[in-house]
Amino acid sequence: MVETAKRINLSLSEEKYQLLKELAEEKGCSMAGLVEDFMDVGLELFEDIGLSEMAEKRIQEDPEQWLSLDEI
């Protein structure tokens, strides 16, 4: 079975559209490819923020509950 990319319809302001078009031309890629690259970066940042929040909560726990490297 052939896998095809899912599509969405995206509305942009004229300014953002022109900027995206210029950036895609500079990179030599399609506008859709550039948006997908931006999405990848954004999703990685979103994941990093979530992991940082989890780490902050763990740091605030009682140090008595922490495991040493030997205990892991």
Establish if 38 belongs to a structural domain. yes
Containing domain of residue 48, as a range? 32-60
Residue 68 resides in a domain:
no
| Tens-digit pLDDT string for the chain (72 aa) | 677 888 899 999 999 999 999 999 999 999 999 999 999 999 999 999 999 999 998 888 888 888 888 988
C-alpha dihedral sign at 36, 42, 48, 54: negative
pTM: 0.69
Number of domains in the chain: 1
